[in-house]
Structure 1
Amino acid sequence: MGIRDRKKPSSKNPPVFSHEFIIQNHADIVSCGAMIVLLGLMFEISAKFAVVFVTLQYNVTVPGTEESDSVSYYHYGFKDMAAVFFYMLAAIIVHAIIQEYVLDKINRRMHFSKTKHSKFNESGQLSVFYFISCIWGGSILFSDNYISNPLSLWEGYPHTLMSFQQKFFYICQLAYWFHALPELYFQKARKEDIPRQLIYIGLYLFHITGAYLLNLNRLGLVLLVLHYFIELLFHISRLLYFCDEKNQKGFTVWALLFILGRLLTLTLSVLTVGFGLAGAENQVLDVNSGNFNVLFVRISVLAAICCTQAFMMWKFINFQLRRWREHKQTQNLKKKSVNTKNKPKRENKENGTNETITLNGADAARGRKEKSS
Structure 2
Amino acid sequence: QVTAKTAFLFILPQYNVSVPTADGELVQYHYGLKDLVTILFYIFIAIILHAVVQEYALDKINRRLHLSKVKHSKFNESGQLVAFHLTSVIWCLYVVVTEGYISNPRSLWENYPHVYLPYQVKFFYLCQLAYWLHALPELYFQKVRKEEIPRQLRCIALYLLHIAGAYLLNLTRLGLILLLLQYLAEFFFHIARLVYFTDENNEKLFNVWAVVFVVTRLFTLTLYILVIGFGLPRVESQALDPERGNFFSFLFNNILFRMSVLLLVCLFQASVMWRFIRFQLRRWREYWNEQSSRKRAAASTKQQTKPLKRDSGYHENGVVKAENGTSPRSKKLKSP
Task: Normalising by structure 1, report the TM-score.
Answer: 0.80
Q: Is it true that 1:303 corresponds to 2:303 in the alignment?
A: no
Which sits farther off after the overlay, 216-225 or 287-296? Answer: 287-296
Q: Runs of 4+ in structure 1 displaced over 4 angstroms? A: 283-289, 354-367, 369-372
Deviations 1:107-133 (A, max 9, x none): 101111222211211111111111111
Q: For 1:260 and 1:328, how far apart are their aligned partners in 2?
A: 26
Would the aligned equivalents of 2:313 and 2:321 in 1 still touch at CA under 8 Å?
A: no
Tell me if structure 2 keeps the 8 A contact 1:133–1:228: yes
Among residues 263, 283, 305, which one is paired with 1:345 in the alignment?
305
Partner of 1:77: 32
Select 2:77's aligned residue among 122, 142, 159. Answer: 122
Question: Residue 330 of structure 1 corresponds to which residue in structure 2?
Answer: 290
Deviations 1:14-41 (A, max 9, x none): xxxxxxxxxxxxxxxxxxxxxxxxxxxx
**Partner Cα separation in structure 1 for residue 81 and residue 48 of structure 2:** 15
Q: Distance in 2 between matches of 1:84 and 1:303?
A: 31
* Partner residue, 1:176: 131
Q: Is the 8 Å Cα contact of residues 285 and 294 (structure 1) preserved in structure 2? A: no
Give secondary structure in 2 for the equivalent of 1:73.
strand
- The Cα of 1:283 is off from its aligned counterpart by 5.1
Aligned 8 A contact 1:211 1:220 in 2: yes
Change (3 A) 1:170 1:369: closer
1:278 alignment partner, SS class: helix
TM-aligned CA distance change 1:161 to 1:341, over 3 Å: same
In 1, Cα distance between the equivalents of 2:187 and 2:329?
84
Amino acid at match of 1:233: F
User: What is the rounded CA distance, in whole Å, between the counterparts of 2:329 and 2:85 in structure 1?
Assistant: 89
Q: 1:76 to 1:367 in 2, by over 3 A?
A: closer
> Using a 3 Å threshold, how does the CA distance of structure 1 residues 297 and 203 change in structure 2: closer, same or farther?
same
Higher RCO structure (Cα 8 Å, ≥6 apart): 2
SS at match of 1:70: strand
How far apart are 1:286 and its partner, in Å? 5.1
* CA distance in structure 2 between the aligned counterparts of 1:371 and 1:207, rounded to whole angstroms: 101
Query: Which residue type is aligned with residue 253 of structure 2?
Result: V
Distance 2:215 2:117 in 1: 29
Aligned runs of 1:56-75 on 2, under 5 Å? 56-65=13-22, 68-75=23-30
The residue matched to 2:234 in structure 1 has which SS? coil
Measured after TM superposition, the shift of residue 231 of structure 1 is 1.2
The match for 1:15 is none
> Which residue does the alignment assign to 1:240?
195
CA shift at 1:357, angstroms? 8.9
Counterpart selection for 2:63 from 104, 108, 121: 108
Q: Residues of 1 paired with 2:297 and 2:183: CA distance?
A: 42
Aligned to 2:222: 267
Larger CA Rg, structure 1 vs 2: 2
**Equivalent residue letter for 1:322:** R
Inter-CA distance 304–173: structure 2 relative to 1 (3 Å threshold)? farther
1:75/1:332 Cα in 2 relative to 1: closer, same or farther (>3 Å)? same
Mean alpha-carbon deviation: is it higher for 138-147 or for 55-64?
A: 55-64
Q: From 136, 151, 155, give the equivalent of 1:196.
A: 151
Unmatched tracts of structure 2, length 5 or more: none
Q: Percent identity?
A: 53
1:133 to 88, 95, 106: 88
Tell me how far apart the structure 1 counterparts of residues 181 and 220 of structure 2 sit (CA, whole Å).
Answer: 8
Work out the CA distance in 1 between the residues paired with 2:91 and 2:48: 20
Return the structure number with greater helix share: 1
Deviations 1:234-258 (A, max 9, x none): 2112222222234322221221121
Counterpart in the other structure of 1:294: 253
> 2: CA distance between counterparts of 1:249 and 1:342?
30
Secondary structure in 2 matching 1:277: helix
Q: Which residue of 1 aligns with 2:280?
A: 320
Instruction: Work out the number of aligned pairs and report it.
Output: 323
1:213 corresponds to: 168
Distance in 2, Cα, partners of 1:53 & 1:301: 34
Residue type of the partner of 1:335? K
Report the Cα distance in structure 1 between the residues aligned to 2:155 and 2:18, rounded to whole angstroms.
37
Q: Determine the C-alpha separation between the residues in 2 that align with 1:215 and 1:135.
A: 23
CA distance in 2, matches of 1:202, 1:83: 20
With structure 2 as the length reference, what TM-score do the two structures score?
A: 0.88
Deviations 1:82-127 (A, max 9, x none): 1111101100100000001000000101111222211211111111
8 Å CA contact 1:89–1:179 kept in 2: the answer is: yes
Looking at structure 2, the residues matched to 276 and 262 of structure 1 have their Cα atoms a distance apart, in angstroms, of 20
Report the equivalent of 1:18: none
Q: Contact (CA 8 Å) 2:29, 2:117: kept in 1 or not?
A: yes
Q: Which runs of 5+ in 1 are unaligned?
A: 1-42
Structure 2 counterpart SS, 1:125: helix
